[in-house]
Structure 1
């Protein structure tokens, strides 16, 4: 497991910090969504999806501390490209397993030889490798770690997939014998479309739209369809772009915006769900 794989958006030892941080993140982006102004989530989602060297939730934390920062990395990454962190630079605090935090810095916090944007984009924005068996790997981890049963089935051409919760007998002893959720993906779709659908339906689960799962993800059940679909499409946009895959999520996002939609959206939940799906795919 490399550093990026180990970088988790949730750490059991800092649950209280995460809850407070998530609330502050959501409050910040909701307050910034002024009518008539360019929605802050447009640039936010683009930055999160364009910097693959760091987990989505940590990139959101960085954006909260340094709004608009384009390049954010750890000191060792900056050293690898010939730059050093300036003395007394104010760090950007991100989460890190077993620490529980780590200090990162943006380009303006470093000194050294000039670096072209093209090099920085390659270092920070190299798409996550799409290895063979991507869908099967995500499905395997989702079942093993989260009790989500992913099924490839033949569905009507108008239906790409769906997700539902599975009732578990509360009187059953030990661990439930059946998965807690079932995700279906239309096997008639092109492989890229199957992956996009899988991400979208898993997003509904990890966003808490079908209920929570202890400390893994919260129980969030927005009663508005536009909110649920906006959040799931945002996750799909972030994950697919980080993998260098094309999707229609960017266009769909605007289509789900209704009156006060963003006031009910959880940006922190979106980042955490995207990170969990990407972790399963690596």
Structure 2
């Protein structure tokens, strides 16, 4: 992908919001039909060379909107290029480098200033290249992560977070062995940090090590129990038949998974497509609990309506209530199959929302997920 100039991207994003507001209805997800914007621009005279330069910015904006990092409808755009047809726009002005000819720029593509801090330039470049911290929620997650890794320099903590979000413990090979008698698993991927008075050092996440047992408190989502052979593979196949996509995430221990709806076709007779992400680095019992938790978000209605699945609009504004509902479903389903998640400590984080919990909704959802995944296991938990 071509390099993204953040200042150019800011102008392009405003331009594209004008296009989205003019072409699409704000009640629906516009991103599946995003190429309509390019078609309109070609009709308006965009050349192949211009499109080649414009496309990286366009793709980044659409991807950020798809993931909820940016919006095609807010903040309102002042760009009026799409208010008449054929559209009026000056792509050369839009894509122009903000630096004047001959002006020296820093790593972020901006004029260099006296006393510019080289560490700040590195951070700016990292943020610009990865687009990881482009909203307040992502920044808060980064700062919370940096606060937890008190034994790491702040910049090294940021490097670890960029490489593997959700990481909880990371040490060198020597430290893992001398302190805990653990070593990296075969094929484990090292993470890079900066070393004092030297180039770089390599560290490993706790989930990428094996050896002597660690206390349960060392893990964020400990789960005891055993699974039938190839159970998760069977789950993946069963979900695929129902337009539920399972993807495996390379995350740290503190990151378990997510669920989201990725279609909104408006046909009440067609199944919507949902996507469920599960941390591939967690032990399999933990992965099952995560999978059930994320499926619960879907079947409870937290991720959007699906009339073909009899999922009605239901998304409590209170995050705590949504998490309590989903984890309560996961707890019931897991325990009935002989798994033992540490849901009590997770639910304790949201204990203020228990008064609004609807037990009937929880048990109905648990039954639907058990039927989908083939649970309870024949040799574990209760039957019935």
Could you state the TM-score of these two structures normalised by the residue count of structure 2?
0.36
Could you state the TM-score of these two structures normalised by the residue count of structure 1?
0.48
**Structure having the higher Rg:** 2
